[in-house]
Amino acid sequence: MKKTVLAMVSGLAIVLAGCGQSQATAPVAKKTAGPVTIVWTASPIAGLGVRKTLISLFEKSHPNIKVKLITAPTSTNTDKAALTTQISSGSATPDVYMGDVIWPAQFAHAHLALDLSHHLPSSFWSRFAPGLVQGASYKGQVYGAPFYMDSGFLYYRKDLLAKAHLPVPKTWAQLVSDSETLQKDGLVKYGFVWQGNTYEGLTCDWMEYMTDAGGTVLNAAGTKAAIDSPASLKALTFMRSLITSHVSPAAVTTFEEPQAMAVFDAGKSAFLRNWDYAWANSNSPTDSKVVGKVGVAPLPTFSASNYPGHSTIGGWNIYVNPHSQHIPQDLTFIKWITGTQAQTVLATKFSEIPTNYAVQKNPAVRKVNPVLATVSHVRLVARPSNTPIYPKVSQAIYSNINAALNGSVSPSVALKTTQTQINQAISQNGL
């Protein structure tokens, strides 16, 4: 209660100061001695203690700021729902939060994120790898500071492939045939695990197959759905066949990143589609039974001449709650976490792709992060998230694709429904 009153008083002081009232007459909040605590909501990333490592390094170099960590749900959808409720209710916490790269348009539109372009100089933004700041922008303003980048990869069991004298698959057909051989020989239970649950992660996986097959979600002008195409049908028919051929377990339609990674790390699957941090996880003795047995490659393609396949661009930004009472401290935290020390730790200890360009290009960092070496060879594809209606577009994709994967509707019906739902969302809300 006391805290709320103090926050209100200091908030009032700021408002009054902003109205031009002299400092002498404005009520001034009593300065509290000691460090200021900011609250950071962040999902567990790789689940390997990344956040705590970063916080302790930050606090060491910034004795006047403490960071209180609140763990967010691992699913980006659930995470977004919780933050939306909290921030739209006017809550001053969290001060800063980790948020998906697909959120800037929605969060800017709904006033859930502070416009950082007015708080951080252009010299700050030049530290990031090309394209990232634009990805964090909406209508010319920047709403998030790029924290790390994700990209989809194929993880494979190099020991099993060597034992069976099989190549690392470059095509989806090869992945299926490698899997079937390894399964038949009793070397592994499942061939391939990935993200098939009805949530954002399935949209990411979908983008990779669909783009590789030559399809797109929207038409070239970006004004109408184009997802109901022969290319999409090829992609979805193939995804469903992974399940009917038992290369992927039926339960893959309920898997998100942690479940897929757990099956692979337990040694039960030959191949895994996951983001960069899965490298660190699969090599963590406390989390994995396959330490030292894993290789990483770009995702396969439908036609060998197109290799490598496509990888969806993912990643997370740091956003500031517009109601935060600690904006100077929030900005200090953002500058540090996107700076050399934090970004080097992320890349070298947790196999993340750093957003800080100098760190990303540093040969010493690349040497110890095989994922970073692979990412320069993949073809990246972005989700069409630069519109506040993206959640509706993505939901149309993941719910219908999931229904087809489950076998409850045919691939062609699923694609027709997706097309209709995306067009409805566009005509109801505009883009």
Residue list 50-79, contact with ligand GLC (CB under 6 A): 76
Residue 367: Cβ-neighbour burial (10 angstroms; 0-12, 13-18, 19+):
exposed
Task: Report, in Å, the least distance between residue 363 CB and ligand GLC.
Answer: 25
Partners of 42 in beta bridges: 71
Nearer Cβ to ligand GLC (234/310): 310
Which residue among 94, 135, 146, 201 contacts ligand GLC (CB under 6 A)?
A: 201
80, 81, 107, 134, 426 from 85: Cα distances, Å = 9, 6, 12, 26, 24
Q: Which stretch binds ligand GLC (CB under 6 A): 199-207, 286-294, 320-328, 345-353?
A: 199-207
Which position's Cβ is nearest ligand GLC?
A: 314
Choose the binding region for ligand GLC from 18-26, 110-118, 121-129, 308-316 (rule: CB under 6 A): 308-316
Per-residue interface string for the shown chain with ligand GLC, residues 93-122, x marking contact by CB under 6 A: -------xxx--------------------
Among 275, 302, 319, 390, binds ligand GLC (CB under 6 A): 275
Q: Does 205 bind ligand GLC (CB under 6 A)?
A: no
Task: Mark the segment that binds ligand GLC (CB under 6 A) among 86-94, 117-125, 240-248, 314-322.
Answer: 314-322
Question: Which of 200, 212, 330, 352: binder of ligand GLC (CB under 6 A)?
Answer: 200
Among 54, 105, 133, 204, which residue sits at the site for ligand GLC (rule: CB under 6 A)? 204
C-beta closer to ligand GLC: residue 324 or 385 = 385
Q: Which of 300, 309, 314, 411 binds ligand GLC (CB under 6 A)?
A: 314
Q: Which residue stretch of 19-27, 227-235, 310-318, 410-418 sits at the interface with ligand GLC (rule: CB under 6 A)?
A: 310-318
Please tell me whether residue 384 binds ligand GLC under the rule CB under 6 A: no
Residue closer to ligand GLC (CB basis): 77 or 216? 77
Neighbouring residues of 286: CB distance < 8 A, sequence distance ≥ 6: none
Using the minimum distance from each CB to ligand GLC, give the nearer residue, 136 or 204: 204
Binding site residues, ligand GLC, CB under 6 A: 76, 100-102, 150, 200-201, 204, 257, 275, 314-316
